[in-house]
């Protein structure tokens, strides 16, 4: 256990000691007295200017240095603890450097001191007083343990007085580790508090043994699910009910999926809180995590109300699928936020709080008001190509969304409860989907959505599926689908749904895309590094017939003044494909693997790179 902790980087040898007489060797966090620290202290391989000569924090005024200690609370977080006549309380939280910050700091030292390559600089990695103070915040227990609705002010005060005691939290977590074998290093400081709060409440009702039994049966996954209910004791008991009332194998699967969501929410919220929120307090990450977990927790607790030994297998499968979708929501939403930040969007907590992604799985119908909002939004989007408005946003869309929405998996991005972007998937076959109805509201409240939402959803779905779609060459957004998202153009329909307008068929297939010579799925196409090479290598459109048969063809098109020539070339080079038809009719044709607009040329000039379809 010790070796695993050291290997994980959670603790250094100087940061802990073992209570070897305790069952399971529970880890005791070593408290380092401030009186023994002259200027700095080493925490997780970095020296922080915390000592009797460097510290001047208001909440410690009048407290003797011998009654102040520093201890690690979790990976990346330490506490400054004051002892007032035997009552220990965490007064401040120190947010330690993460690995990225450590590497950056060490590189600064290497550059400044001109340290030779390969030389370890850990001993030189030190934060000065101001850098250290910038990472220290007062700990307010009420933020993480708010008053419950049914709780009197007197009872709340008693509960807080008990659980804010560092000795109480340490005793509960140590006892819990000894009785269940769950190492306390697996829990965040916030989760340790909730465990102490649960012990306080369950101790009064004589149910603490119930929690011990639950943790012994379902280990860390079960405990994390229990603690995800935070300070809500009734919801926590619903988690215990699942473990007690349905078959252990089924319960374990639920808790495993829940733990995955919790860990993902922890990871993404920490990163967003650190990198996206301008001038953000470190602890905003915790609020973001709760925001991410809110709906997932609601799904589980609602399921528990009907849990029992006779739980229907279909309901269990539906629950697991709902949890999978919630995991996808967190991944896509956090990824979208990062893309918005990169595009110049200002991000604040209020915006994140007001932004929500709803996924309606196959078999689940859209609300009629939402369906009508999406229909209106899509029709507004297609006004720029009136001839295609009926095909993409006409009666078929109404039928799909108002009558048959349960046949699709739908993604709705909401801002301040209003749908601002939408798309849906139809299942063509196992592992093969058709994406359609991508629309963005013109009333985005200043949000720069663009194709970011589409990109993040497609990449999430393409992990396990081949994705097909169609788009109009009349609009340049299709170039982003190829260059930014990773689609290839594998078909052309010159008379899309008898409208007289052309449409291009696009597909993203992670496996086959790697086989094309002009694509590199690991390359950042947004940087346009190889555009000059492609532009300079363009073949003559006049000699198109003579080019057919070459492995690669590069063509330049003037979409404003030569659209008919574009249509003719596409008909000659690409297989004919209709909507919802992923098959190819001519195996000797080409696939367009690159498609971009050259913004340095006047007008609408686009380049396409065609590669011959490999013979099977």
pLDDT in tens, 300-334: 777 776 665 455 667 777 777 777 777 777 777 77
Supply 457's token pair: 């959803």
Per-residue pLDDT reduced to its tens digit, 196-214 = 888 888 887 788 899 999 9
Indicate which CATH number applies to the domain containing 446: 3.40.630.30
Show the domain range for 589: 466-612
Handedness of CA 127, 130, 131, 135 (dihedral sign): positive
Per-residue pLDDT reduced to its tens digit, 331-351 = 777 767 776 676 676 766 677
Same domain, 600 and 489: yes
Residue 475, pLDDT above cutoff 50: yes
Same domain, 440 and 496: no
- To 10 degrees, the CA torsion angle through 410, 414, 420, 424? -10
What beta strand segments (E) does 383-429 contain? 408-415, 418-429
pLDDT the model gives residue 27: 42
Residue 44, pLDDT above cutoff 60: yes
pLDDT the model gives residue 143: 78
Residue 4, pLDDT above cutoff 50: no
pLDDT the model gives residue 191: 87
Residue 21, pLDDT above cutoff 50: no
pLDDT the model gives residue 117: 67
Residue 28 CB coordination number (10 Å): 15
Give the DSSP H/E element, type plus range, for residue 237.
helix 233-245
Same domain, 429 and 484: no
In a domain, 538, yes or no: yes
In a domain, 16, yes or no: no
Same domain, 443 and 482: no
Same domain, 471 and 602: yes
DSSP structure class, residue 137:
E
Residue 608, pLDDT above cutoff 50: yes
Same domain, 474 and 508: yes
Same domain, 551 and 591: yes
- Is-above-0.85 flag for pTM? no
What beta strand segments (E) does 49-113 contain? 68-74, 77-84, 87-95
Same domain, 471 and 603: yes
Same domain, 487 and 599: yes
Supply 198's token pair: 């649960």
Residue 16, pLDDT above cutoff 70: no
Supply 392's token pair: 């993409």
Residue 110, pLDDT above cutoff 90: no
Residue 439, pLDDT above cutoff 50: yes
Print the SS3 string covering 121-160.
CHHHCEECHHHHHCCEEECCHHHHCCCCCCCCHHHHHHHH
As a whole number, mean pLDDT of residues 341-370 equals 78
Domain boundary pick from 139, 166, 195: 139
Per-residue pLDDT reduced to its tens digit, 509-564 = 988 877 777 765 544 444 456 788 899 999 989 999 999 999 999 999 999 999 99
Residue 116, pLDDT above cutoff 60: yes
pLDDT the model gives residue 522: 46
> 597, 407, 598, 590: which is closest to 505 by C-alpha?
590
With cut-offs at 50, 70 and 90, classify the pLDDT of residue 10.
Answer: very low
pLDDT the model gives residue 578: 55
Same domain, 440 and 397: yes
Count of structural domains, the chain: 3
Q: Which residue has the higher pLDDT, 190 or 115?
A: 190
In a domain, 9, yes or no: no
Q: Which residue has the higher pLDDT, 393 or 345?
A: 393
């Amino acid at each position: 256990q010790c070796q695993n902790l050291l290997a994980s980087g959670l603790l250094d040898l100087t940061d802990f000691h073992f209570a070897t007489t305790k069952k399971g060797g529970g880890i005791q966090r070593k408290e380092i007295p401030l009186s023994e620290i002259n200027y700095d202290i080493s925490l997780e391989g970095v020296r922080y200017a915390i000592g009797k000569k460097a510290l001047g924090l208001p909440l410690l005024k009048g407290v003797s240095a011998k009654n102040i200690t520093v201890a690690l609370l979790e990976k990346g977080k330490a506490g400054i603890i004051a002892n007032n006549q035997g009552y220990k309380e965490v007064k401040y939280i120190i947010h330690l450097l993460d690995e990225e910050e450590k590497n950056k700091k060490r590189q600064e030292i290497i550059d400044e001191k001109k340290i030779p390559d390969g030389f370890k600089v850990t001993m030189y990695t030190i934060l000065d007083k101001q850098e250290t103070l910038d990472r220290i915040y007062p700990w307010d227990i009420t933020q993480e343990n708010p008053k419950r609705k049914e709780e009197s002010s007197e009872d709340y005060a008693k509960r807080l007085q008990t659980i804010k005691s560092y000795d109480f939290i340490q005793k509960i977590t140590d006892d819990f580790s000894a009785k269940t074998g769950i190492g306390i290093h697996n829990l965040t400081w916030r989760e340790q508090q909730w465990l102490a709060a649960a012990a306080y409440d369950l101790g009064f009702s004589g149910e603490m043994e119930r929690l011990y039994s639950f943790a012994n049966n379902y280990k860390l996954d079960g405990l994390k699910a229990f603690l995800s209910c935070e300070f809500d004791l009734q919801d926590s008991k619903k988690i215990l009910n699942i473990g007690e009332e349905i078959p252990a194998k089924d319960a374990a699967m639920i808790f495993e999926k829940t733990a995955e969501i919790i860990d993902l929410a922890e990871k993404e919220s920490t990163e967003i809180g650190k990198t996206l929120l301008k001038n953000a307090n470190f602890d905003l990450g915790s609020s973001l995590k709760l925001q991410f977990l809110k709906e997932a927790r609601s799904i589980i607790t609602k399921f528990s109300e009907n849990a029992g030994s006779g739980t229907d297998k279909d309901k269990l499968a539906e629950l697991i699928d709902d949890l999978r979708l919630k995991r996808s929501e967190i991944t896509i939403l956090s990824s979208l936020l990062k893309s918005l930040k990169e595009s110049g969007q200002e991000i604040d907590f209020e915006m994140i709080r007001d932004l929500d992604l709803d996924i309606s799985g196959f078999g689940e119908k859209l609300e009629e008001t939402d369906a009508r909002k999406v229909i209106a939004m899509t029709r507004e989007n297609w006004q720029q190509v009136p001839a295609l408005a009926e095909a993409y946003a006409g009666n078929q869309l109404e039928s799909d969304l108002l009558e048959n929405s349960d046949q699709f998996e739908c993604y709705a991005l909401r801002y301040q409860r209003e749908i601002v972007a939408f798309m849906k998937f139809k299942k063509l076959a196992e592992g093969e989907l058709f994406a359609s109805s991508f629309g963005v509201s013109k009333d985005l409240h200043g949000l720069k959505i663009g194709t970011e939402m589409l990109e993040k959803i497609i990449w999430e779905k393409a992990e396990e599926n081949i994705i097909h779609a169609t788009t109009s060459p009349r609009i340049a957004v299709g170039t982003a689908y190829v260059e930014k998202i990773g689609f290839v153009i594998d078909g052309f329909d010159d008379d899309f749904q008898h409208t007289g307008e052309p449409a291009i068929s696009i597909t993203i297939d992670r496996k086959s895309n790697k086989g094309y010579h002009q694509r590199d799925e690991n390359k950042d196409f947004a940087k346009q590094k190889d555009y000059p090479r492609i532009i300079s290598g363009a073949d003559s459109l006049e000699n198109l017939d003579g080019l057919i048969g070459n492995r690669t063809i590069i063509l330049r098109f003037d979409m404003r003044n030569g659209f008919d020539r574009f249509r003719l070339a596409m008909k000659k080079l690409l297989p004919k494909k209709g909507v919802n038809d992923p098959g190819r009719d001519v195996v000797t044709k080409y696939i367009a693997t690159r498609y971009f607009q050259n913004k340095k040329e006047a007008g609408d000039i686009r380049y396409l790179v065609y590669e011959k379809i490999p013979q099977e």
